[in-house]
Structure 1
Amino acid sequence: MTTTVQGHVGLDAAAVTEALDRGECGEVAGDAGRRAQYSADASNYRQVPLAVVFPRARQQVLNALSVCRRLGVPVTARGAGTSTSGQAVGPGVVLDFSRYFNRLLALDPQTRTATVQPGIVLDDLQAAAAEHGLLFGADPSTHSRCTLGGMIGNNACGTHSVAWGRTADNVVELEVVTYRGTVVRLGEMTQDEIDEAIAVDDERGRLIASLYRLARRSLATLRTELGTFPRQVSGYALEHLLPERRFNLARALVGSEGTLAVVLSATVRLISPPPARALVVLGFRDACAAADAVPALLGHQLLALEGLDQALTDIVTRPETRAAIDTLPSASAWLFAELGGSEDELPDRARELTKAADECPGFTGGDVITDPVRARRLWRIREDGAGLATRMPDGSEAWPGWEDAAVPPDRLGPYLRRFTGLLDRHGLHGAVYGHFGEGCLHVRIDFDFTTEHGTAVFRAFVTEAAQLVAAHGGSLSGEHGDGQARSELLPLMYGPGVIALFEEFKNIWDPDNGLNPGMIVRPLPVDGNLRVGPHRTPLPLTTVFPFHTDDGDFAKATRRCVGVGKCRTTAPRGDVMCPSYRVTRDEKDSTRGRARLLYEMTQGEVITDGWRSREVRDALDLCLSCKGCSADCPVGVDMATYKSEFLHHHYQGRVRPASHYTMGWLPLLSRPAARMPRLVNALTSSRAAPLVKRLGGIAAEREIPRFAPRTFLSWFRTRAPEGDGHRGPVLLWVDSFNNHFTPDVLKAGVAVLENAGFRVQVPDGTQCCGLTWITTGQLGVARRIARRTIAALAPALGAGVPVVGLEPSCTAALRTDLPELLDGDEDARALARATVTLAELLVHHATDWHPPHIKARSISQTHCHQHATSGFGADSTLLHRMGVDNTVLDAGCCGLAGNFGFERGHYDVSVAAGEQVLLPAVRATAPDTHILADGFSCRTQIAQRTDRTGTHLAQLIADALSNLANGQGTARD
């Protein structure tokens, strides 16, 4: 007899959490903060769970299912939570496998297989396989954070599926457990193995018998209506039950979205990649012309054939990627075709491919990309598509919901034309991209979920889109699964007989409907549980920052986070975000987890006390305010600004942490300290130092930086200018850190600027950008300081004098924070436009100046704020002109990040962040290699955690100029 989980009637989060705690299920959380973090995935949907479980061991997974079964609570298995269809959220218990249940259990290079736990991140598997010259073939764009369990749940495919197949094609064996606790090992089965299993007549045998009977009764349907083309992912993959497919229960379970069983381990197939690859970019008149060309190109043994249109590239703002886009062939849409083989054969094959494209209508030109750096930047556009496409070029929001349909590739062009017409009829817009080589399109659409009419348009559109896909022999889902987004629409694709088979298949595996109910069969409505809806009214929250790009709406700003989870990457790979997540691997410490909590705070349902929320405060505690997310997040979530805004309101009228008074007011406190530096230094290094640190909220493990004997300003105002100043004046921004602690950096800057022909000036009085008050959320004080600074600089700004900053955090504040803080102030905007880094000034404003030639090696640590606001391009150019063999560390954040690494309770995370790349790289660097670090925090972390010291770019150049003047250097040719 079939029973059904009844939605945990009478149970609350506390009762479920207590039962799970007693049941030895691993780490269990049922607090409001955790439940808010797991209330959404990367879809349009929201369901607040009762509890979240983080199992560490196999038995804990079994225990959790046992407790939930006894309580009648449904279970949702979750990996990285990047699902775009709503299948990673549920109303019961969420099992998060990504944090602990994520090990590589075995890797056999001889059989080319690996066995993994479901929470392992794909890139971690790829790194282990790469040591043996192998890789896992399915590689979705979320490879840096998606888990194998999630890929199995959705039958993920990725960029190279045209050559290496879907996840299902690369799964050898699965060990799973049903909601009722039956553990089964699944794979191919011969007839003898089927008969033997059935004869045993245990729970496993009865399960296999039922599945075998279903398959034998339905052979014609399975052969003609399922598995008709590679990207037919919607529904259950019952075609794998056919005898000619060896009754492969493992592959039949792939793509079941956690509705049948929970994966305990998976054995997957690995492949040998080609020795070399080439990227060929092909331009077309429009996306439809690109789609038409696909069939003519598929015969060229491609590894990948990805498409994107200009609507996507128009959204890109990252400077390095923008520069790469500008070199693309002139077109409105492009195909990225990748070839694999030997280096000798690739040029000829690339020419043949381009020739074939040239014969297609609408082709505008091609380019073979040989520079691996440029190729990576171009592929990044495609990888970031799911995030980039969530904002239209005008800044309006776009949503998933119909971003995964697929049709046979030879029908892609006609389908795309009719799909575009459907968008037009409904007055909707979206940027198209996707796996053109397999007929799979991704598009985020500007649905309006905030009104009844907009929600009705959404429902009407997806219904018509489903009918359109079915008419072209396609699949509602090509790799992301059906979830809540498409399950209700499956009868428009499949007939009643197939739907009945799906329901029977579900009932055989999960008669209690305890696993991810509402997905695929007995579906939840496509317009139910919407994260943003006409009946969800945010709290009226007034902000200090204007949030113009989000129409001044803080709730809208927080929902920029659509859940793609790029902040959950565990290795830098050119990105800064999110340093604390890389250390803790805890969702609450990711940019996404924090954004989720802030969004829930604006709704007032789970998080009920608004700006006073302790859950939000605690989640923001380990945010380093590094600003990495503002550049690295595909949708531009700026958690540093959100944190400042929250802290401002949270502590308004209340006593703040001690560190807010000491380090937040450091620029002001440094002034009296500078009058008696010896006394202050003696105190902070004496036996009283522990008490000083404790009273100041400073970590006991941190050494307090020593004040310089003389400030830079004191030195500068008593010296005579050097050089002829023929280029005119430049205003040197005197930041508090270098002025009081490392004045030699500013002195070096003066020497370089004067040598380059500038007349160096400094602001009148003692000015500050207000950064320390901004990061600690003291925005009222920061505004007053910013106004005073702007007033002091106004005359120079009016005269068009450039402002050059040597401390990246302060330079970034002048460029970005002050114009926001002083919204509408024209002088603040003028300051932002006038502010440049030293390298930018020398590269762009002193083009005929010849820097000294330095035959040397260096490694560079890019400051987080520089990474976020200006990048390292000008620095690289300048170092190249100087002849320096420089390597930019792929290090992410140094971990100190201004006040963060000095604050009590942050030391371990601060050091662990630095130990991921930066500090080991510094220790391994040869003694004669320069360690370039412009940031005061970066140099401090290096000095305190290694036996080396960091050098500012200004110091490197100034030392070379000095050596040249003394006859020890090398003149520029």
Structure 2
Amino acid sequence: MTLTGAAPHAAGAPGPGAAEVPGDIVVRLRRALGGGARVDDSARVRAEYSTDASNYRVLPAAVVVARDVDDVLAAAEVCRATGTPLTLRGGGTSVAGNAVGPGVVVDTSRHLTRVLAVDPDARTATVEPGVVLTSLQAAARPHGLRFGPDPSTQARCTLGGMIGNNACGPHAVAYGRTADNVVALDWLDGRGRRFTAGAGDLSPVPGLEELVGAHLGLVRTELGRFPRQVSGYSLEHLLPENGRDLAKALVGTEGTCGVLLGATVRLVDLAPATALAVLAYPDMAAAADAVPALLPHHPLAVEGIDARLVDVVRHHKGEASVPDLPPGGGWLLCEVGGGDEAGAFAAARRLAADAGTDAVRVVPPGPEATALWRIREDGAGLAGRTPAGAQAWPGWEDAAVPPERLGDYLRGFAALLRDHGVDGLAYGHFGDGCVHVRIDLPLADAPQRLRPFLHDAADLVVAHGGSLSGEHGDGRARSELLARMYSPEALRLFEGFKALLDPDDVHNPGVLVRPRPVDADLRRPLARPAAPAGGFALRHDSGDLTRAVHRCVGVGKCRADTGAAGGFMCPSYLATREEKDSTRGRARVLQELTVGTLVGGVEHPAVAESLDLCLSCKACASDCPAGVDMATYKAEWLHRRYRGRLRPPAHYALGWLPRWSALVAAVPGLATVLNTVLRLAPLRRLVLRLGGMDPRRGVPRFAPRTLRARWAADRTARPWRHDRAPGGPVLLWADSFTDGFGPDVGEAARRVLEAAGHEVVLAGPGACCGLTWISTGQLDGARERLRRTLDVLAPHVDAGLPVVGLEPSCTVALMSDLPELVPDDPRAPRVAAAVRTLAQQLQTRVADGWTPPDLSGLDVVAQPHCHQHSETGYGADLDLLQRAGARVRALAGCCGLAGNWGMEAGHHEVSVAVAERALLPALREAAPGTVLLADGFSCRTQAADLAGVRGRHLAELLADRLPPD
């Protein structure tokens, strides 16, 4: 990558007081953990674990992916013996920089993931530290139980991380913080002592009872003043009147006092029924003013959402993504429970009567309520850009004040933002007085503005009796600011508490006690702008690839544990569960590329390793709340890596596939010869190997007659009658796959569109979207083809014809990649806006009264194409199928082939594993007669290769049921 700008800081340079890491630490770890353990100090892995969801970058010396508790114990012993800093990491979603460290990072989220026991009588569960919260909830649900606190990252955060940060979530107003729901902890401290921490016994930590006894007055007056006071150590739990609960006191210590090996947690009853009261107010401060009157109704959650955050969702996802809301500038989402639905609705109405507003809507459980909660859950990513498009950062992410002070605090905070010339979208747990916000501090250009802002913000929250952190912990972001919140005596008490448990400061040094400066170790100032390279315009990131890859703020939705339901993002991570295969892991390596020290240049093997298993499915472009588009970044990297150089064979064999298809079509009889020859297994395997493809794959059959050839013959025999076209003309675009491999699909589409009342015009030759060139990073070639495509399509579009695409990946390429690769041509946005899927075009005719063919009684397993999921969604197809009477099971997950990716050598095993997430199980479970509906040529190819099932295109399905005429 060609980069410009100032020279970067020294990569991973230790700060003042940082412990030295022994040069042989990897050797020591491997010896202690055994040959089967994963100990890695490669550039790629260090890059992946150098940051979490915070602003900070700290390069670890080594990463241990623990297989079991014994691995954790062994790694901790090596670190204790050598004085090497040790940081435990769960899902890596810590917002304050609590999950990064300069020594050894131990990842518990890959293997330590068991729910060991659920005791419904005691209402407890025993878990390993790497258990994802949704896994615990799934284990507790059959018993009518759940774990109370539920952060918005619950589908990827681990119990160990929640215990480390004292996580809360929206339902903490009803169920309390993590500390309030912990029974016992299996703990290893920095002295090498392993003990069970619980209530009523402080003896596992000699000297602790005496330390607390000497500071009773201080603990009672400075700590535990209101529920969301999370900053510092929560030593109030050690008071006699609070049960001398060592387990609760260790919650929220952020890995600074030892290692969590396991936990027993308390469970609560599931609410039999719920309802959601949506309350509107003129602004967020007015919404906050209403909260104290709502709390006596014992709501399960009281969440605040800014109207500007909702506007961001509308802008990115469309109007349909946001349910009808009462008019206002800010809303409270108040969930209430009841014994049944009627009871929940009655409780919601009683709460609304005290809400101080008439703008109220009560929403039952269902799609609308889910959509509203999704806005809240995606808040961290959605708020990653201000309405003006500036990058917004955490750092002052979850301050909290007593709820009765929240309105005044928000007014003061708004004034503070104005005074510092910054902006942010506020939302949060208003029932607990906790506010989330990301702020567009110019960390790339003027990081020196961070410190004065944080100092002023800390003073403001302290003036309102609040806490620097309300649930995410202090980490590197706020530990230095504790001196503005607590007295010197309290800080010395914190130091004394840590000294009893970790006297050598091995565990997560630089956090809470002897903190690193808030402006040390910042990630963004190190990155240099990327010089343009003639690739994508990256219009939403000012043309700067560096800015684009820093969209990833680490919220980790790409790591979400979606369970049996499947999911589109990120297919390879869901198959492998490896950090390198998550969108976040890849973004971290690309961010290191922009720094240029650890990962020095586009040819560095770490980049190739990281991007190798990216399917370019584009699901992240829609599903990542921060808008990370790894398919685009991968294509851009390939463009920069191979421009003007010899490419891998697959780039020519598959990247030029439309060229080869056109050549075959130009020679009469050649398609038949090739199809016959390639049926011979030895020849097929040889051809695939020579082309850089996996020999286990099949070779798609060339059509003996292309769609264009058929069309010309058919039109000669049967000219179109214009009086039969009440829907007007449409332009049917014959992409390379439909034309050369699936002409039956094009013929079926013509029949269906004509039956719907359209005159169908076939686009002229030369209209190629360049998809295969794009996916292999041949962006100059793609641009050349797209310019020719504009010449073909633009006259029709300017004449008012919509362009109907049949292959989803090609259709989406025209919608999204065309304006990015040809940004200087005014025709590009016009053509992109005119492109439709077949279902979208048919919907316009349904709206005019056309009735689709009758599919009653037909069972359909639908495999939506990932690119279609990303750009247009599957709603139009699903609506059309259901109107036609089909019974549809739409899969949520990639087929695993993803165009050229699944064909390439080295990808077969993961391709099959991805297919096993949704597609293959659905085909095995399908009843006889069930139809596989797959518009994507890749999806149909994958089903045929791996399951022997012939998929059908929507056009074919509908055409089969058309009346004879």
- Which TM-score band applies after superposition, normalised by the shorter structure? over 0.9
Q: Which residue of 1 aligns with 2:543?
A: 552
Structure-2 separation of matches of 1:10 and 1:140: 34
Instruction: Give the drift of 1:412.
Output: 0.8
Give 1:45 shift. 1.0
Matched, 1:79 2:90: yes
Contact 1:331 1:364 in 2 (8 A): no
Deviations 1:273-296 (A, max 9, x none): 011111111111100110000011
2:264 aligned with 1:267: yes
Cα distance change on mapping 1:960 and 1:618 into 2, 3 Å: same
Q: Is the 8 A contact 1:7 1:73 kept in 2?
A: no
Aligned to 1:668: 659
Match of 2:613 among 595, 607, 622: 622
> Which amino acid is the alignment partner of residue 216 of structure 1?
G
Q: Distance in 2 between matches of 1:8 and 1:259?
A: 14
Deviation at 1:107, TM superposition (A): 2.2
Aligned counterparts of 2:412 and 2:636: Cα–Cα separation in 1 = 46
Which ranges of structure 2 fall in alignment gaps of 5 or more residues? Answer: 1-14
Deviation at residue 869 of structure 1 after TM alignment? 0.6
Give SS of 1:527's match: coil
* Residue 520 (structure 2) aligns with: 528
Q: Deviations over 1:583-638 (max 9, x none)?
A: 11111111111111111101111111x12121101110000000000001111111
Mapped to 2, the partners of 1:321 and 1:211 lie a distance apart of: 56
One-letter amino acid of the structure 2 residue matched with residue 380 of structure 1:
R
Deviates more, 1:338-347 or 1:703-712: 703-712
User: Secondary structure at 1:316's aligned position in 2?
Assistant: helix
Shift of 1:867: 0.8
Partner Cα distance (2:19, 2:459) in 1: 36
* 1:629-676 deviation per Cα after TM superposition (whole angstroms, max 9, x unaligned): 000111111100000010111122333222111111111112233442
Partner of 1:105: 116
Contact 2:865 2:894 in 1 (8 A): yes
Most deviating of 260-269 and 363-372? 363-372
CA contact (8 A) 1:923 1:948 kept: no
Aligned to 1:971: none
Q: 1:783 to 1:525 in 2, by over 3 A?
A: same
Kindly state the Cα deviation for residue 180 of structure 1 after the two structures are TM-superposed. Answer: 3.3
Given candidates 294, 299, 315, the residue that maps to 2:296 is 299
The percentage of aligned residue pairs carrying the same residue is 53
Give 1:845 deviation, angstroms: 5.3
Other-structure match for 1:234? 231
1:768 and 1:907 map into 2 onto residues whose CA distance is 28
Structure 1 match to 2:4: none
| 8 Å CA contact 2:132, 2:561 repeated in 1 | no
Taking only aligned residues, the RMSD between alpha carbons, in angstroms, comes to: 1.9
> Does 1:183 find its partner at 2:176?
no
Match of residue 383, structure 2, among 389, 403, 406: 389
Number of residue pairs matched by the alignment: 936
- The structural deviation recorded for 1:809 is 0.3
Equivalent pair of 2:766/2:792 in contact (CA under 8 Å): no
Residue in 1 that maps onto 2:403 = 409
CA distance in 2, matches of 1:868, 1:226: 48
* SS in structure 2 at match of 1:445: coil
Aligned to 1:499: 491
Q: Separation in 2 of the partners of 1:497 and 1:850?
A: 77
Provide the rounded CA distance (Å) in 1 between the counterparts of 2:678 and 2:195.
Answer: 63
Query: What secondary structure sits across from 2:928 in the alignment?
Result: coil
Greater Cα shift, 853-862 or 911-920: 853-862
- How far did residue 844 of structure 1 move? 2.6
2: distance between equivalents of 1:331 and 1:883?
Answer: 40
Corresponding letter in the other structure for 1:788: R
For the pair 1:167 / 2:178, whether they are aligned, the reply is: yes
Match of 1:698 among 669, 683, 693: 693
What is the one-letter code of the residue matched to 1:373? P
Cα distance in structure 2, aligned partners of 1:45 and 1:32: 18
Shift of 1:854: 2.4
* Partner of residue 25 from structure 2, selected from 8, 16, 22: 16
Shift of 1:766: 4.3
SS in 1 for 2:286: helix
Q: 1:62-141 alignment to 2 at 5 Å?
A: 62-141=73-152
Between the aligned partners of 2:162 and 2:308, the Cα distance in structure 1 is: 28
Which residue is 2:209 aligned to? 212
Residue equivalent to 1:965: 964
Q: State yes or no: 1:152 paired with 2:163.
A: yes
Cross-structure match for 1:225:
222
Taking a change above 3 Å as real, the CA distance of residues 174 and 637 of structure 1, as seen in their structure-2 partners, is: same
1:248 and 2:259 correspond: no
1:47 aligned residue (54, 58, 78): 58
2:832 is equivalent to residue 836 of structure 1? no
Residue 586 (structure 2) pairs with residue 594 (structure 1): yes
Larger displacement relative to structure 2 (839-848 or 379-388): 839-848
Aligned to 1:344: 342
- Taking a change above 3 Å as real, the CA distance of residues 318 and 51 of structure 1, as seen in their structure-2 partners, is farther
What is residue 583 of structure 1 aligned with on the other side? 575
Give the CA deviation at 1:408. 0.9
Deviation at 1:680, TM superposition (A): 1.2
1:581 touches 1:589 (CA, 8 Å); kept in 2? Answer: yes
Q: How far apart are residue 209 of structure 1 and its match?
A: 2.5
| Structure 2 partner of 1:969 | none
Q: Does residue 792 of structure 1 match 2:792?
A: yes
Secondary structure at 2:58 match in 1:
coil
Give the Cα–Cα distance (whole angstroms) in 1 for the partners of residues 325 and 16 of structure 2.
54
Shift of 1:478: 0.3
Which deviations, in whole Å up to 9, do the C-alpha atoms of 1:377-418 show, x marking residues without a partner? Answer: 111000000011010112111111111111111111111111
Q: Aligned equivalents of 2:19 and 2:279: distance in 1?
A: 55
Cα distance in 1 for residues equivalent to 2:873 and 2:568: 12
Higher mean displacement: 911-920 or 672-681: 672-681
| Residue 332 of structure 1: how far off its partner (Å) | 0.8
Q: Quick one: distance in 2 between partners of 1:579 and 1:321?
A: 25
- 1:883 is matched with 885
For each residue in 1:443-468, what CA deviation from the matched residue of structure 2 results, as whole angstroms up to 9, or x when unmatched?
111101133xx433321121111111
User: Contact 2:91 / 2:109 at 8 angstroms: preserved in 1?
Assistant: yes
- Look up the SS of the partner of 1:646 in the other structure: helix
1:880 CA drift (Å): 3.1
Aligned to 1:353: 351
- Please report how far the alpha carbon of residue 5 of structure 1 lies from its aligned counterpart in structure 2 after TM superposition: 12
Pick which of 561-570 and 316-325 moved more: 316-325
Matched with 2:555 is 564
Which position in structure 2 is the counterpart of 1:805? 805
Unaligned ranges ≥5, structure 1? 198-203, 967-973
Q: Which amino acid aligns with 1:76?
A: T
Confirm or deny that 1:908 pairs with 2:909. Answer: yes
Q: Which residue of 2 aligns with 1:639?
A: 630
Which among 309, 313, 316 is matched to residue 312 of structure 1?
309
Residues 630-639 or 782-791, more deviating: 782-791
Structure 1 counterpart of 2:943: 942
Q: 1:69 to 1:721 in 2, by over 3 A?
A: farther
What is the CA-CA distance between 1:27 and the residue it aligns to? 0.3
Aligned counterparts of 1:448 and 1:328: Cα–Cα separation in 2: 34
Change (3 A) 1:670 1:683: same
- Deviation of the 1:748 alpha carbon: 0.9
Mapped partners of 2:134, 2:900: distance in 1: 32
How far apart are residue 375 of structure 1 and its match? 1.1
Query: SS of the counterpart of 1:279?
Result: strand
Q: How does 1:748-767 map to 2 (within 5 A)?
A: 748-767=748-767
Q: Secondary structure at the match of 2:232?
A: coil
Post-superposition shift, 1:722? Answer: 5.0
> What is the CA-CA distance between 1:905 and the residue it aligns to?
0.9
For residues 833 and 145 of structure 1, what CA distance do their matches in structure 2 show?
36
Within 1, Cα distance between the matches of 2:364 and 2:318?
A: 16
Partner of 1:375, secondary structure, is helix
- For the residues of structure 1 that align with 2:244 and 2:103, how far apart are their CA atoms? 33
Contact 2:275 2:365 in 1 (8 A): no
Residue 324 of structure 1: CA displacement? 4.1
Asked if structure 2 preserves the Cα contact closer than 8 Å seen for 1:321 and 1:377, the reply is: no
